[in-house]
């Protein structure tokens, strides 16, 4: 089989030893790569995940690319990282792009599995077959950007690509992420903290090998066609304004999270819009390797924090902006720079700071709790100070925020849990809870916690296909289909911004076959997606997840939106229950959200059927 | 006559975004493999904003040819540099001499390679596949004319807006 | 007064060179008719922003929002516009961190 390297690295950090594992064809066909490989290996390597402390040596940290990495596949250079999440306590995973995945495959590897814990700070260097754990004491404490430069210098070759944690990961901040090539992150679930807990500072890779594909001529021809489609209207939005274009659209729809999800519109939305950003702040739009779209908008701050450069996308913009009442693109650009260099997820960070601001305004947090920071909505200084302290776990405020919004609200109490906006401990992203209700269902059942990237279920809400202010029993199927398809996308791994250019799942299957030479139909690949989703769910069930965890936070049910355009919007409990039931039914799960034995057996998951599956 | 019509591959830094599609395509077009390290055209990314692809510029008086101690490099009338693999011993002196760093040591052959303008395809594939039209295959005169035109257009716009 | 308020977001601001405008509409005009009229005004094919060559909405079609409700683009020729309606033309929603 082609496309895959056919082998992966196993690194025992405790003993400082490496070995090699093989990828078999059956694994490829059943699980594709990326998310699929991650779900399979995480489930297999942590058979009792409920007992595992995510920040202990017992946790595993697994990196996978997919068959497309390193080939010329359109927007196909991504890698994914997996572990039990220290933020949520369940299936943790994230995906990043850039050049890293391509180099990794070119070096001759499909993935790397880290176990144990290194006694001293190390980084993993992969140079084709030559693999080495190297001393990281001189880079421990450095930002992610400094780390990349220093490693390249130490290795004497700037063609190395580096993925690293910053000081936040080193301190095991639960929101800590992994950064590669400055602007690209494995953002969510605190995987940077897992790296920090293992004293693993970075992975540096250089590949010089040819990446083999089954039908190179056919592949290049198909890619030429796909790349051409990528210059058309289906991707215009990404290429010009980028995802920040969402700010005004969401504002018009009343689904732009503002003031910790208290409102769905922001009175200063124009000032932090994608339109304004392109006009005044975007200095360059760059691309990941192999991508004909190019969506990465890099800002430069103008007046305040002049000269600060960072890559600003919709989520960062919305959650560090309107969600914290911030109306300054300069401040947001600076905020993203702090998060990217010190190493925390901008989504979780913007969410938890917004929560803390609401606490402060309500008197639940006092200046004593915030070490003197006036943590008010709209205060640029407060936002930046809170972020910096969170990344460095500095003082009472820093330590509190570093726990993530669920734990922080449990620590603080006083009713603050009621407006902690998360699901399963993962902070909600910038899609409103009550005015995009199919989206909310998708968020609430997602395998890693509050997340739309596993289902894209907001699509129907914003296309007028359904009443976005209500829920009904048709929504379960929408989320189910979205999840199965997106599981495929996250396993190949290909960028979701190509979604509009593929005509069907058959075309994705065709791409898979051109690369690997393995026969695959659209139906089979979606089946694999369903299988992958169920493995991840079974892992979560073992971690204690049941129906009770598949709900949006109290704010969704209890706080109707005040904005004129969606006045009174709220989730009705009976409607939610009905929609959730319909989802479980589509899934073939029990009313308590546990996969039925017969469903798991149907998908070829006999171990899961025995260990997790329940009778109908 | 030939050298006046000499077309080279030029890259516009305003359009180039560092996607490296040219590198993937070049390795395939020139060697039939997918390996950006075997590409003849190379993307230079200087953080945080600069991206530019560079390849052989068909110099009028090539330094690489002068440098070679074994006369392994020659230049065709259309400007393309030719490497005689029987003579090249991989000393790499030309690699160090080219001011653009576009003469490279082949990873497997251990002899040098340089862009041959996709002679077997009839048109530079990198230019064909560049998704942003950053790469163009033009004479230097055409390239200069485009720049003048762009500059004048911007100037006229600025004057009109005053 | 047979006017509707038209608000523009994203590329539609570039097309019309403004953020909003008032336009007169025939009572009972459909959204499609209004798009066609706007296309004439802006000298551009607006319909193709929303409907593909096959007459169906595209995966990443731009959005039409009327009084806060997203219009199902497969019904753009049936949707009747009333005076006083607020219409928003906006790019698709997607992503993204």
pLDDT score of A234: 80
Does C12 map to a domain?
yes
List the structure tokens of A336. Answer: 């993203």
| Residue A596 DSSP class | B
pLDDT in tens, A377-394: 999 999 999 999 999 999
List the one residue out of C62, A588, A492 whose CA is nearest residue A507: A492
Distance, in angstroms, between C67 CA and closest chain A CA? 7
d(CA A458, CA A243): 15
Containing H/E element for A95?
Answer: strand A91-96
Domain with C39 in it = 3-90
Q: For chain C, what is the total number of helices (H) and then of strands (E)?
A: 3, 5
Inter-chain residue contact B19 with A208, CB threshold 8 Å: no
CATH numbers and ranges of domains, chain B: 1-55+115-162 (3.30.70), 59-114 (3.30.70.20)
Q: How many domains does chain C have?
A: 1
Strand partners, A554: none
A243-426 maps to CATH 1.10.569.10: yes
Percentage of chain A with pLDDT > 70? 100
How many CB atoms sit inside 10 A of residue C22's CB?
9
Q: What is the mean pLDDT of residues A362-386?
A: 98
Asked if residue C97 is part of any domain, the answer here is no
Residue A46 vs residue A237, higher pLDDT:
A46
B1 — pLDDT class (breaks 50, 70, 90): very low
| In contact, A73 and A93? CB cutoff 8 Å | no
> Is B106 a residue whose pLDDT tops 50?
yes
Do A577 and A571 form a contact (C-beta atoms < 8 A)? Answer: no
What is the CB neighbour count within 10 angstroms for residue A532?
28
- Select from A115, A104, A76 the least CA-distant residue to A223: A76
Please tell me the distance from the alpha carbon of residue A572 to that of residue C65, in angstroms, as a whole number: 24
User: C49 in a domain, yes or no?
Assistant: yes
In a domain, C96, yes or no: no
Which chain A residues have a beta carbon less than 8 Å from that of B36?
A: 102, 106, 289
Q: Measuring CA to CA, which residue among B54, B44, B60 is closest to residue B115?
A: B54
pLDDT, tens digit, 9 for 90 and up, residues A110-154: 999 999 999 999 999 999 999 999 999 999 999 999 999 999 999
Question: How would CATH label the architecture of A437-551+572-611?
Answer: Orthogonal Bundle (1.10)
Only one residue has tokens 């390297």, namely A5
Angstrom CA distances, B91 to A266, A470, B109, stand at 64, 72, 12
Question: What is chain B's length?
Answer: 162
**Predicted confidence (pLDDT) per residue in A72-100, tens digit:** 999 999 999 999 999 999 999 999 999 99
Minimum distance, in Å, between the CA of residue B21 and any CA atom of chain A: 5
Tell me, yes or no, if A290 comes closer than 8 A to chain B by beta carbon. Answer: yes
Output the average pLDDT for chain B. 95
Q: Which residue of C has its CA nearest to A254?
A: C68
Neighbour count for residue B122 (Cβ, 10 Å): 8
pLDDT at B3 over 70: no
Predicted model pTM: 0.96
Residue A293 pLDDT > 90: yes
Alpha-helical regions (H) of A259-404:
274-280, 314-320, 329-342, 346-361, 380-392, 395-401
Q: Which residue of B has its CA nearest to A311?
A: B48
Task: Count the alpha carbons within 13 Å of A396 in the hemisphere toward its beta carbon.
Answer: 12
Residues 45-64 of chain C with CB under 8 A from chain A are: 48-49, 57-61, 63
Q: What's the complex ipTM? A: 0.95
Q: What is the CATH number of the domain that holds C21?
A: 3.10.20.30
B-chain CB neighbours of A209 within 8 Å are 35
Please state, in angstroms and rounded to a whole number, the distance separating the CA atoms of residues A66 and A102. 10
Instruction: Please list, in sequence order, all residues whose beta carbon lies within 8 angstroms of the beta carbon of residue A200, skipping any fewer than 6 positions away.
Output: A13, A61, A114, A118, A121, A122, A123, A124, A165
CA proximity to A80, closest of A451, A482, A491: A491
CATH code, A7-206: 3.60.9.10
Taking Cα atoms as reference points, which of C59, C63, C91, C97 lies closest to residue A453? C97
Across B60-81, average pLDDT: 96
Q: Which residues of B touch A289 (CB under 8 A)?
A: 19-20, 36
Closest of A197, A190, A204 to residue A170, by C-alpha: A197
Element containing residue A12 per DSSP (H, E):
strand A7-12
CA distance C10 to C62: 10
Q: How confident is the model at residue B153 (pLDDT cuts 50, 70, 90)?
A: very high
pLDDT for the residue B86: 97
Q: Is residue C95 part of a domain?
A: no
Q: Which of A205, A164, A315 is nearest to A250 (CA)?
A: A315
User: Which chain C residue's Cα is nearest to A273?
Assistant: C10
- Sorted by sequence, the CB contacts under 8 Å of residue A91 that are 6+ apart come out as A39, A42, A82, A84, A85, A447, A448, A536, A539, A540, A543
Judged by a CB distance cut-off of 8 A, whether residue A493 touches chain C is no
Q: DSSP state, B162?
A: -
Contact A491, A33 (CB under 8 A): yes
B2: tokens are 């030939």
């Amino acid at each position: 089989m082609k496309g895959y390297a056919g082998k992966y690295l196993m690194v025992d950090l405790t003993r400082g030893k490496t070995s090699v594992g093989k990828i078999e064809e059956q694994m490829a066909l059943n699980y594709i790569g990326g998310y699929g490989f991650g779900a399979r290996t995480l489930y297999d390597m942590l058979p009792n995940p409920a007992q595992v402390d995510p920040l202990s040596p017992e946790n595993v940290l697994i990196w996978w690319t997919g068959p497309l990495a390193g080939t010329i596949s359109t927007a196909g250079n991504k890698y994914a990282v997996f572990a039990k999440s220290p933020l949520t306590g369940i299936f943790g995973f994230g995906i990043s792009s850039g050049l890293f995945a391509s180099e990794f495959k070119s070096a001759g590897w499909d993935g790397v599995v880290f176990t144990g814990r290194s006694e001293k700070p190390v980084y993993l260097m992969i140079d084709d077959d030559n693999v080495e754990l190297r001393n990281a004491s001189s880079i421990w404490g450095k930002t992610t950007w400094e780390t990349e430069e220093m490693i390249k210098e130490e290795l004497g070759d700037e063609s190395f690509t580096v993925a690293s944690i910053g000081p936040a990961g080193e301190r095991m901040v639960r929101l800590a992420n992994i950064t590669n090539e400055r602007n690209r992150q494995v953002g969510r679930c605190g995987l940077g903290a897992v790296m920090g807990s293992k004293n693993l500072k970075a992975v540096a890779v250089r590949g010089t090998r040819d990446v083999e594909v089954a039908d190179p001529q056919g592949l290049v021809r198909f890619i030429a066609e796909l790349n051409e489609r990528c210059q058309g209207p289906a991707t215009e939005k990404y290429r010009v304004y980028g995802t920040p274009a969402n700010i005004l659209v969401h504002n018009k729809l009343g689904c732009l999270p503002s003031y910790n999800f208290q409102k769905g519109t922001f009175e200063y939305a124009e000032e932090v819009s994608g339109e304004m950003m392109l006009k005044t702040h975007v200095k360059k739009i760059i691309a990941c390797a192999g991508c004909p779209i190019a969506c990465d908008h890099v800002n430069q701050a103008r007046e305040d924090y002049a000269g600060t450069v960072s890559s600003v996308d919709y989520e960062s913009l919305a959650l560090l902006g309107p969600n914290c009442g911030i109306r300054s693109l300069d401040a947001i650009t600076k905020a993203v720079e702090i998060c990217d260099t010190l190493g925390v997820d901008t989504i979780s960070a913007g969410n938890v700071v917004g929560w803390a601001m609401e606490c402060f305004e309500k008197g639940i947090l006092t200046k004593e709790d915030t070490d003197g920071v006036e943590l008010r909505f709209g205060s640029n200084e407060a936002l930046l100070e809170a972020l910096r302290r969170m990344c460095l776990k500095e003082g009472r405020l820093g330590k509190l925020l570093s726990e993530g919004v669920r734990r922080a609200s449990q620590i603080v109490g006083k009713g603050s849990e009621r407006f902690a906006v998360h699901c399963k401990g993962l902070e909600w992203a910038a899609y409103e809870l009550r005015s995009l209700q199919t989206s909310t269902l998708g968020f609430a059942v997602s395998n890693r916690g509050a997340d739309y990237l596993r289902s894209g279920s907001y699509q129907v809400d914003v296309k007028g296909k359904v009443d976005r202010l209500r829920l009904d029993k048709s929504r379960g199927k929408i989320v189910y289909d979205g999840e199965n398809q997106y599981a495929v996308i996250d396993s190949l791994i290909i960028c979701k911004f190509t979604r509009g250019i593929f005509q069907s799942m058959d075309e994705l299957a065709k791409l898979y076959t051109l690369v690997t030479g393995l026969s695959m139909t659209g139906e089979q690949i979606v089946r694999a997606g369903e299988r992958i989703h169920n493995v991840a769910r079974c892992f979560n069930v073992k971690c204690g997840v049941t129906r009770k965890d598949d709900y949006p936070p109290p704010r969704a049910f209890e706080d109707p939106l005040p904005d004129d355009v969606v006045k009174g919007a709220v989730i009705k409990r009976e409607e939610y229950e009905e929609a959730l039931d319909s989802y479980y039914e589509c899934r073939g799960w029990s009313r308590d959200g546990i996969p039925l034995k017969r469903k798991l057996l149907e998908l070829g998951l006999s171990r899961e059927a025995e260990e997790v599956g329940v009778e109908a | 006559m030939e050298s006046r019509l000499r077309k080279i591959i030029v890259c516009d830094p305003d359009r180039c975004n560092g996607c490296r599609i040219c590198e993937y395509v070049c390795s395939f077009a020139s060697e039939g493999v997918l390996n950006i390290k075997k590409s003849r055209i190379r993307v230079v990314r200087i953080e945080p904003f600069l991206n530019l692809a560079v390849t052989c510029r068909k110099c009028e008086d090539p330094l690489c040819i002068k440098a070679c101690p074994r006369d392994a490099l020659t230049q065709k009338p259309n400007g393309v540099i030719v490497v005689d693999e029987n003579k090249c011993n991989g000393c790499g002196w030309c690699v160090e001499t080219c001011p653009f760093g576009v003469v490279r040591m082949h990873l497997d052959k251990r002899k040098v390679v340089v862009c041959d303008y996709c002679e077997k395809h009839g048109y530079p594939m990198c230019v064909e596949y560049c998704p942003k039209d950053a790469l163009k295959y033009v004479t230097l005169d055409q390239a200069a004319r485009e720049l003048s035109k762009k500059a004048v257009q911007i100037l006229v716009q600025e004057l009109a807006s005053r | 007064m047979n006017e509707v308020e038209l608000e523009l977001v994203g590329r539609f601001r570039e097309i019309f060179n403004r953020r909003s405008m008032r336009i007169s509409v025939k009572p009972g005009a459909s959204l499609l008719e209004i798009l066609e009229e706007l296309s004439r005004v802006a000298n551009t094919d607006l319909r193709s922003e929303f409907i593909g060559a096959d007459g169906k909405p595209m995966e990443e079609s731009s959005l039409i929002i009327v009084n806060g409700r997203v219009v199902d683009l497969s019904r753009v020729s049936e949707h009747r516009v009333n005076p006083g309606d607020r219409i928003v033309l906006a790019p698709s929603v997607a992503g993204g961190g």
